[in-house]
Structure 1
Amino acid sequence: MKRRTVLGTTALAVAAASLATTQLTGSASAAHAGPAVAAHAAPAVTTRHTPQPAGQFKVVARFDGAMPTGVTVSSHGRTFVSFPRLGDKVPFTVAEIRDGKAVPYPDAEVNRQDPADLAGHFQSAQSVVVDAKDRLWVLDTGSPQFAGSSYGGPKLVAIDLHTNKIVRKILFPTSVVPGDSYINDVRFDLRRGADGLAFITDAGGKNGIITVDLATGHSWRRLAGDPSTIPDKNFVSILDGKPLPNEFGSDGIALSPDGKRLYYSPLSSRRLASVSLDALANPRATDAQVAATVRNLGSKPQADGLESDTKGRLYGGDEEHNSIWRRNMDGTYRTIAKNDRLHWVDTLSVASDGHLYAIANQFDRQALFHNGKDLRQKPYLLVRLSIDAGPVTLR
């Protein structure tokens, strides 16, 4: 995966600052978070569940161990989190939050990193998503520390939440997920094919979007190197008031509630695009045919993850302004939460309880971006906001 450290180029910093200073309109407020818990070797977490009015966020969990990235909530209220192996001590890369603690899921053995058995263990899970059939899907990058992957490492794994057993494992051929890829996030349309399709963004390598037939395991890549999936040239984030050049491609991903469009965005950009799901779902469609269905939806804040709800609204984090935004159906944006503790909103997930869940993990403050100095300040947070809508479930 390509990445650049801070360059401090004056021209780039000025150009980026001119874009980064504009914040979205709208109200935002936050509930008091209380004190953090003590650090632990495992990904420690404390939880609270208190309903909050719309427009406020509630801290659901605090993490004092490894840095989380992904979050998802089942229809029965079970919460799952992923901890990719990016430099922290990560005893397990997929966890369920039980009684205020992060517990390896589905068990400790499958979470044990094992370079000798890449396919049999989770190497570095970036995302976890519960689908419309209440199966937990784990997206394993197979690339700890962004160091590259080998066949068997990158995979999509389904766990039956009734039995807590792995029921499906799809390995990606290197022709679809080469060693420099970094598969990032996934969404599902279970109406298509015998058991549905998955759509995955690739933030590394040649970028693009990967489609997976869940029944056969067949996968194919489209939009590789397309202008809509690659980082903006000379992109510079303004984070903590300083320029941070970086090169991450297609990252955030979300579905329209009618199942016609897939929204996505490169992380190293301030733009949004969508593409036809019919085109992506057709394994015989050429790159040019898929690219012809791409729509440029204009500018948005720099965001990591994306999410959508049943009302057709999109959500994302504004990494440069420590906030969460909503894009309405008419294309207007509104800030729905803002607080310094919302530093680098990573994954977002709409749950059936009518809340938007989000991880704030200070991703940009990792040592790999600051010449080996870790600037993160624990705890990392899992928050939720009431949004009066449910998740998009295409079934």
Structure 2
Amino acid sequence: MKRLWLLLPALLTGSMISCESDDDMPPPKPPGALEEVFTDSVYQLTGVAVSADGRLFTNYPLWSDTYRYALVETQPGNQVVPYPNAEMNNWQPGQSGEDKWVCVQAVYIDGANKMWVVDPASPGMEGVYQQSYKLVKIDIGTGQVERTYEFDGVAGNNSYINDVRVDTASRYAYLTNSNEGGIFVVNLATGNIRQVLQDHYSVRSDPAYTFTVDGRELMKNGQPVKIHSDGIALSPRGEWLYYKPLTDDKLYRIRTEYLQNEDLASADLEAHVEDLGHFTTTDGMIFDEDGNLYLGDIEHYRIVRIDPELQVTTLVEDSLLIWPDSYHISKDGYLYISCSQIQKQPDYNNGVDKRTSPYAIYRLKL
């Protein structure tokens, strides 16, 4: 009778006390542990985005002949479905790239649950194909393209539009030009696009910095690799844009009110850039709602957090973080991290593919 009374509260609330022993339960993940959520053993991914209802998306740039789809929604069992449809993922050389993916570099989901896809349209990073570089807005619920912003006449043929952040309140988007150095400012209401700061040191990788990965300076064709303005992040209320070159450890910011001012002369705009100092070499970066900035550390296989006072904390250091590339913070408080293993590519290893594990997306509980 005594034992029945112990069980009665659980019965009334529709729950039961588990009789499963502690030995049968999976061990809890320690703080700072990476959790694998998707892997691809064949195709090289770069981006990651998660919708408000938990759908996971990634993209594959057209950097080699080992290629199938540009943009996908992941499925259980590491399966993928081309997104938003197979036709947009079926571009072939010689075809128009205006309404198809040519070489998708990044995928981003904004605070209104809209998807933004960055297509620099530069296969193998060898030049823009038929001026078909674009930023595409998609309604995730319907899979319909809502608007395409074209960069023809704004960006040069040697540009590589890399990453994007969108301010839904002010209706502006910001993108980086990683091959030449520069920031694109897109007025989403009017469609007007400008490239700014392209002559400023903040968008250019420091030539004196030695970018060292796996014990050696990253080289291509006998020359040190220099990747310019790449990572980009908007502060929680959209008042600051943070950005940095990839192959050095400097971090910069500028108020978005100055970027949005189309009448501001270049020299006046450059005067408003703030140099925040030395931190890490990261590809992407992202803010949380409390104003903490998360960056990778490609050289040391780390993820770090920079708080509003610019103090740095290491969240995780793990050999799985092979070139942490892009980031997304989900509604349930996970930091998603894609690992593109760029330093393992044949281009950076005298033609030898040094990859030994799948390309992967992990997540980390914040």
**TM-score interval w.r.t. the shorter chain?**
0.7 to 0.9
Residue 209 (structure 1) aligns with: 183
Q: In 2 relative to 1, CA 280–53 (structure 1 residues): closer, same or farther, beyond 3 Å?
A: farther
Alpha-carbon distance between aligned partners in 2 of 1:318 and 1:210, rounded to the nearest angstrom: 25
Question: Does the 8 Å contact 1:52/1:385 carry over to 2?
Answer: no
Deviates more, 1:371-380 or 1:259-268: 371-380
Aligned residues with identical type, % of pairs = 35
Structure 2: 5+ residue runs without aligned partners? 1-26, 219-223
Structure 1: 5+ residue runs without aligned partners? 1-49, 388-395
Alpha-carbon distance between aligned partners in 1 of 2:203 and 2:253, rounded to the nearest angstrom: 10
Q: Any idea what the Cα deviations from partners look like across 1:335-388, whole Å, max 9, x if unmatched?
A: 11111111110111111121110011211111111221111222111011111x
Are positions 1:80 and 2:54 aligned together? no
Residue 107 (structure 1) aligns with: 85
Q: Which residues of 2 match residues 371-386 of structure 1 at below 5 A?
A: 371-386=350-365
Residue 30 (structure 1) aligns with: none
The residue identity in structure 2 corresponding to 1:309 is D
Alpha-carbon distance between aligned partners in 1 of 2:65 and 2:270, rounded to the nearest angstrom: 38
Question: Does the 8 Å contact 2:132/2:152 carry over to 1?
Answer: no
Residue 155 (structure 2) aligns with: 177
Q: CA deviation at 1:151?
A: 4.5
Question: Does the 8 Å contact 1:55/1:336 carry over to 2?
Answer: yes
Q: Any idea what the Cα deviations from partners look like across 1:19-40, whole Å, max 9, x if unmatched?
A: xxxxxxxxxxxxxxxxxxxxxx
TM norm structure 1:
0.82
Aligned to 2:118, the other structure's residue is in SS state strand
Are positions 1:342 and 2:321 aligned together? yes
Q: Which residues of 2 match residues 353-364 of structure 1 at below 5 A?
A: 353-364=332-343
Alpha-carbon distance between aligned partners in 2 of 1:169 and 1:151, rounded to the nearest angstrom: 16
Are positions 1:186 and 2:161 aligned together? no
Q: Any idea what the Cα deviations from partners look like across 1:38-73, whole Å, max 9, x if unmatched?
A: xxxxxxxxxxxx995642221111111211100011
Q: Which residues of 2 match residues 220-299 of structure 1 at below 5 A?
A: 220-244=194-218, 245-299=224-278
* 56, 75, 84: which one aligns with 1:98: 75
| Equivalent residues, number | 333
- Asked which structure has the greater RCO (Cα within 8 Å, sep 6+), the reply is 1
Structure of greater Rg: 2
Q: CA deviation at 1:86?
A: 0.8
Alpha-carbon distance between aligned partners in 2 of 1:182 and 1:324, rounded to the nearest angstrom: 25
* 175, 179, 190: which one aligns with 1:200: 175
Residue 37 (structure 2) aligns with: 60
Question: Does the 8 Å contact 1:235/1:247 carry over to 2?
Answer: no
Residue 368 (structure 1) aligns with: 347
The residue identity in structure 2 corresponding to 1:57 is L
Q: CA deviation at 1:221?
A: 0.8
Deviates more, 1:71-80 or 1:56-65: 56-65
TM norm structure 2:
0.88
Are positions 1:306 and 2:285 aligned together? yes
The residue identity in structure 2 corresponding to 1:224 is Q
Alpha-carbon distance between aligned partners in 2 of 1:147 and 1:182, rounded to the nearest angstrom: 9
Deviates more, 1:130-139 or 1:144-153: 144-153
RMSD over aligned Cα, in angstroms? 1.5
The residue identity in structure 1 corresponding to 2:233 is A
Q: In 2 relative to 1, CA 281–54 (structure 1 residues): closer, same or farther, beyond 3 Å?
A: farther
